[in-house]
Amino acid sequence: MLYPVIIILTVSTIHESYASWCSNQTQAMCSCFQTSISCSEQPSLTQIPSNIPTDTTYLDLTRNGITSVDATSLSGLTLLTRLALEGNQLSSIEPGVFNGLFSLIILGLERNQLSSIERGVFNGLLSLESIHLFENKIISIEANAFYGLTSLMYLSLHTNHISNIEPEMFKGLVSLKSLDLYGNNLTTVSANLFDSTTNLEELELRGNLLMCCTMIGLIEWARNQTRLDSFTGRCSDFNQTNDINSFNSTNCPVDGEWGSWSTTPCSVTCGNGFISRHRSCDSPFPSKDGQLCVGTKFDFLNCSLGNCPEPCKESDKTSEWKKAKEGKWRRNRRRQLH
């Protein structure tokens, strides 16, 4: 009989603590149910309420007037699994705001005024599975902004103003299944965004300004992905618009790339000298109005073959000559005596 009593008392204590927090005059705009708190649709709410109970698991702050997030407002919420900040007035998020939210699974930041995503914003969110960043004003995303999110499965960036994504941006996201980039300003997407093989199942690229001939690398990468069931988008080239999966790349310009360096021996046999080397723009040759290789065809490198022997001094040469002459005189003298 002891255990049921403890459980009842514990649940009762939780309900009382939330009832007390929600009935507080400063929290009158919020409602509570068990370990969930909803403070939504309050344009006058410009900051996250303070002293949120530390055992909160769901915090709904949607459609308010929140302009910034104070890291202290979320501190201690180690049991929080879902944080909804949709439809506020957030223009930026400082790194460290979400530190300590070890249990967070879903993060909703959609329909705000965010213009960039900085590196470090999502540090430590090892349980995070879903990030909603759609319908913001995102122009740039810093390299490694999503680094370490090994549990992330769903990332939505659609309907922003992204024109460039840094290579390797999504490398290391071993659990990523869906990436939505619909409705941005992308003209190309690099094949180096991901690991050579991933668990990606859906890549949405429709609604961009993709140029077909710049997409060849990604198209070939996608064809080698056994899990990628949905790869959608359209691209334009040669006054035509095509589905990226059916684009024929045979007419695309081929840019030249450098071959291997060919080097000469060191210019000296001892001491310090140089090595000359050259390469050719033939791997492949540029064709069909493709670009020439960028960089130098010839180069020089320093080389060192150790110290050279010291030259013999004139006095040493005289001494050696004298010794040889004396040795010859002694040999002749011995012959005469015998």
Task: Please indicate whether residue 301 or residue 187 has the higher confidence score (pLDDT).
Answer: 187
Domain with CATH 3.80.10.10 in the chain: 30-251
The contacts of residue 5 (CB under 8 Å, 6+ apart) are none
What is the predicted pLDDT for the residue at 197? 77
Bond preceding residue 309 cis, omega within 30 of 0: no
What is the rounded distance in angstroms from the CA atom of residue 129 to the CA atom of residue 117? 18
What is the rounded distance in angstroms from the CA atom of residue 33 to the CA atom of residue 102? 22
> Which DSSP state fits 48?
P
Could you give the angle at the alpha carbon of 289 between the alpha carbons of 284 and 290, nearest 5°?
40
User: If you average pLDDT over every residue of the chain, what do you get?
Assistant: 85
Domain with CATH 2.20.100.10 in the chain: 262-304
What is the predicted pLDDT for the residue at 315? 56
At 278-294, the pLDDT tens digits run 998 877 677 666 678 88
What is the predicted pLDDT for the residue at 3? 45
Q: What is the DSSP string of 182-237?
A: TTS--S---GGGS-SS----EEE-TTS-EEGGG-HHHHHHHHT-SS--EEE-EEEE
Which one-letter amino acid corresponds to residue 13?
T
**Stretch 138-143: mean pLDDT:** 94
Q: Which CATH number fits domain 262-304: 3.40.350.10, 3.90.1150.10, 2.20.100.10, 3.10.20.90?
A: 2.20.100.10
> Which DSSP state fits 143?
T
The 10 Å Cβ neighbour count of residue 200 is 23
60 Ramachandran zone, left/alpha/beta (phi>0; psi -120 to 50) = beta
**Stretch 154-173: mean pLDDT:** 95
What is the rounded distance in angstroms from the CA atom of residue 96 to the CA atom of residue 50? 18
Q: Check whether 139 has a pLDDT greater than 80.
A: yes
Strands across the sheet with 240-243, in order? 210-211, 234-237, 240-243
The 10 Å Cβ neighbour count of residue 73 is 19
CATH homologous superfamily for 30-251? Ribonuclease Inhibitor (3.80.10.10)
Q: Given pLDDT bands bounded at 50, 70 and 90, which one contains residue 18? A: low
Task: Please indicate whether residue 175 or residue 299 has the higher confidence score (pLDDT).
Answer: 175
Q: Check whether 4 has a pLDDT greater than 70.
A: no
What is the rounded distance in angstroms from the CA atom of residue 26 to the CA atom of residue 120? 32
At 194-253, the pLDDT tens digits run 987 789 999 999 999 999 998 988 998 998 899 999 999 999 988 889 899 988 877 787
Q: Which of 49-58, 246-255, 308-317 has the highest mean pLDDT?
A: 49-58
Going by C-alpha positions, the residue among 202, 257, 191, 253 that lies closest to residue 228 is 202
Q: Given pLDDT bands bounded at 50, 70 and 90, which one contains residue 25? A: very low
Q: Given pLDDT bands bounded at 50, 70 and 90, which one contains residue 333? A: low
What is the predicted pLDDT for the residue at 248? 81
* Sequence-separated contacts (24+) of 257-264 with Cβ below 8 Å: 257/281, 257/283, 257/284, 257/293, 258/283, 258/293, 258/295, 259/283, 261/299, 263/301
Q: Given pLDDT bands bounded at 50, 70 and 90, which one contains residue 271? A: confident
